Amino acid sequence: MTAYALPPPPVPSLTIAGDSARFPVRRIFCVGRNYAEHAREMGADTREPPFFFTKPADALVEDGADCPYPPATTALHHEAELVIALGQGGADIPAETALSHVWGYAPGNDLTRRDLQDAAKAARRPWDMAKGFDGSAVCGALVPAIRIGHPGRGRILCHVEGQLRQEGNLADMIWSVPEIVSHLSRLVALAPGDLIYTGTPAGVGPVGRGQSCSVEIEGLGRITTRFS
Ligand code: MN
């Protein structure tokens, strides 16, 4: 057995719907701009190939959490997203077989310090501190693909204080789930436990202190986060 100088950190994990076992999380990848209307609202071309950024796995927050409003921002933004969880890894995965690597799905919220992201974009600096802060990766209970299949369409909604902010459909993603897995696997060797946030529809906006934000995806349920 390995002797460690410090107690090793806990394995980040997610609840699995209808199961007492937990899903161990390895890494968190996110796709930027994957819905045409959101790409346009961010001033970008809608035809460019997918690009990726990451969040630390211990930035995960589960459904129902009461989170401190993050430091160093006055513009915390919600991004409602479909999250995919990989059960099987691999490199250079063809899109045709990519779905067999997907273990399950959940609704997620790619929380963003938009003011820091805008500053980073302007200075051509990395997005890490805008995207990968503590508590930035909200993710609901995973629903296994073996139970529900692979949703190619379905409404995705975001509400702040009960007010509709984002409304889209998974069918409107520029890059589909198998295409995302395939593209990403050409950049890094994927592994079981990896999560991928698949991008957000139009309508991103602020969530304030004392407000709650929910993300709902047809067939996957709803997650709520409150900020204090
Ligand atoms: Mn996003």
Overall average pLDDT of the 102-122 stretch: 98
Q: Residue 169's pLDDT band (boundaries 50, 70, 90)?
A: very high
| Ligand 1: centre distance to CA 100 (Å) | 24
In this predicted structure, what is the pLDDT of residue 41? 84
| Ligand 1: centre distance to CA 1 (Å) | 40
| Ligand 1: centre distance to CA 81 (Å) | 7
Give percent above pLDDT 70 in the chain.
Answer: 99
pLDDT in tens, 198-220: 999 999 999 999 999 999 999 99
In this predicted structure, what is the pLDDT of residue 48? 82
Domains of the chain, earliest start first? 13-227 (3.90.850.10)
| Ligand 1: centre distance to CA 32 (Å) | 6
| Ligand 1: centre distance to CA 31 (Å) | 6
In this predicted structure, what is the pLDDT of residue 210? 97
Overall average pLDDT of the 142-158 stretch: 97
Q: Which long-range contacts (CB under 8 A, 24 or more apart) does 13-17 make?
A: 14/60, 14/62, 14/85, 14/106, 14/139, 14/141, 14/142, 15/62, 15/63, 15/140, 15/141, 15/142, 16/104, 16/141, 16/142, 16/144, 17/141, 17/142, 17/143, 17/144, 17/221
Q: Residue 45's pLDDT band (boundaries 50, 70, 90)?
A: confident
| Ligand 1: centre distance to CA 90 (Å) | 24
Q: Residue 43's pLDDT band (boundaries 50, 70, 90)?
A: confident
More confident of the two residues 48 and 61? 61
Q: Residue 37's pLDDT band (boundaries 50, 70, 90)?
A: confident
User: Whole-number mean pLDDT of the chain?
Assistant: 96
